[in-house]
Amino acid sequence: MNIRAVSTTLVVAVLVIAVVAGVGVYLVVQQLSTPTVAEKPLVIGFSISISGDFAVPGRKQLEGIELWKDWINSKGGIYVKDQNKYYKVELKYYDDKSSKDEVIRLYEKLINEDKVDILLSPYSSTLALTAAGITEKYGRLMVVVGANSDTIFKQGYKNIVGTYTPASKMLTQAIDILLEKVQNPSVAIIFKDDAFAKSVAEGAKAYAEQKGVNVVAFEMYPRDAKDLSPILTKIKGLNVDAILGGGHYEDEVLLVRQAKELGINVKLMSLLVSPSLPAFYDALKETSEGILAPSHWEPQTKPKITVGPSIDEFMTQFRQKWNSEPSYHSAAAFAAGLYITAAIEKAGTLDNAKLRAAFNDLDITTFYGRLKIDPATGNQVGHELVLLQWQGGQKQVVWPREVATAQLIFPKPSW
């Protein structure tokens, strides 16, 4: 073969390779620039309490998720890089009737029959802990929303991601206030026999003791208690500076009512969940004056958003869709959707294991606040609480001071 023939062959070969590569690159680029819409939607599955004990927060949480679904779909869906497709989001959910047995059955069904892509937890620590047992068995990612008992994150589970500030931190701000205002304060911690309330109480006790606060009573009341006068009578003679604790709704309203009836005056009273809802005020009226509670989110706070809609957009859309006010349950649920979106966009896949890994490096701020997890446990460490207080029939943010809408009333006015 002469040199000429060789060089001709080479030139032809180079040209052929160039053309093939060019066409290839062109096709790839074209594909990258115009991703298609997936035929099948991305399905987010969960159970939620539409009836039973957790129906109030359960429904609020559901409203938040539904609104996120509408919002993300109006933006075209979620982009998944490895398929170069936009996925519309669809929700697959069932009423778990606030029952553990239902949760077990429903999460098996969601995973095995419905074959959903990503799982969200049910509302409440008790139910989320139950659900996590199932999702973990199948190695499936579950984003935990509406539940923050530290117990959930101490099981060694590898596939869960938290969105609420851990329960053990829920009363620390109230203790900080007490330390600032009272010398050598003493507190009574009373709480419902329930996974969530126990985690809060134990966290508060540990924090109080570490700070030198005297915990003179640490008492639990039964789940179905219809009378809290025994536990209150027990602490009446102790003359504590603060009562901290509670559980959920019926019991917390009863706790306030009976504390007044028994004439137990303290400088500070912080409950856990019920004061964040307007029904708390309706059931107690002026008896609610000065009562505090932590909240995972309030619309008055103005975080510097990196992802998702602004608070005002969220509020407007929520009111439009549901004709009611969102609670922190709704906000956190919407934010959980944004969190999932961010993880999918970062990981570029729907593979649950890779998604879980993507959460480790995510640090985003939504209208609900900052979200960042502890990579080892999946527990939420980025999110901060605010403290609410009922003042003259209005729910005010009083702590931290940077975001406060009103000055803290301290000490709490006597009954």
Partner 1 sequence: MFNPEIFFQVLVNGLLMGAVYGIAAVGLSLIWGVLGVVNLAHGSFIILAAYIAYVFFSAAGAPPILTSPVAVAIGFAVGYLLYKGVGRRVVSLDPSTSLLFFFGLSLLLSNSILNIWGPDVRGIPWLIQSLELGGTRIPLARLIALVSTIISFLLLYTLLQRTYYGKAIRAVVANRVGAASVGIDVDNVFAISMGIALGITFFSGTMISLVNPFTPSSGDGYLMYSFASVVLGGVGNIIGTLLAGIFMGLVESLVGVYFTQSISPAVAFIILVIVIMVRYRGGR
Task: State the DSSP string of 292-320.
Answer: EEEES--TT-----SSS--HHHHHHHHHH
- Give least dist CB 148 to partner 1, A: 21
- Rounded CA gap, 408 and 275, in Å? 15
> From the list 114, 219, 289, 384, which residue makes contact with partner 1 (rule: CB under 8 A)?
219
Q: Which amino acid is at 133?
A: G
- Give least dist CB 219 to partner 1, A: 6
- Rounded CA gap, 65 and 226, in Å? 33
Q: Are 61 and 123 in contact (CB under 8 A)?
A: yes
230 binds partner 1 (CB under 8 A): yes
Widest CA span in the chain = 110
Q: Are 245 and 292 in contact (CB under 8 A)?
A: no
With vertex at residue 169, the alpha carbon angle to CA 165 and CA 174, rounded to the nearest 5 degrees, is 120
Q: Are 28 and 294 in contact (CB under 8 A)?
A: no
193 binds partner 1 (CB under 8 A): yes
- Give least dist CB 364 to partner 1, A: 32
- Give least dist CB 332 to partner 1, A: 18
Pick the closer one to partner 1 by CB: 140 or 248: 248
Pick the closer one to partner 1 by CB: 52 or 382: 52
- Give least dist CB 239 to partner 1, A: 13
- Rounded CA gap, 339 and 359, in Å? 8
- Give least dist CB 111 to partner 1, A: 28
Pick the closer one to partner 1 by CB: 132 or 272: 272
* Residues 270 to 309 in contact with partner 1, rule: CB under 8 A: 274, 277, 279-280, 282-287
Q: Where are the alpha helices (DSSP H) in 34-124?
A: 55-74, 100-112
Q: Which residues bind partner 1 (CB under 8 A)?
A: 51-53, 55-56, 58-59, 98, 193, 219-222, 224-231, 233-234, 236-237, 249-250, 253-254, 257-258, 260-263, 274, 277, 279-280, 282-287
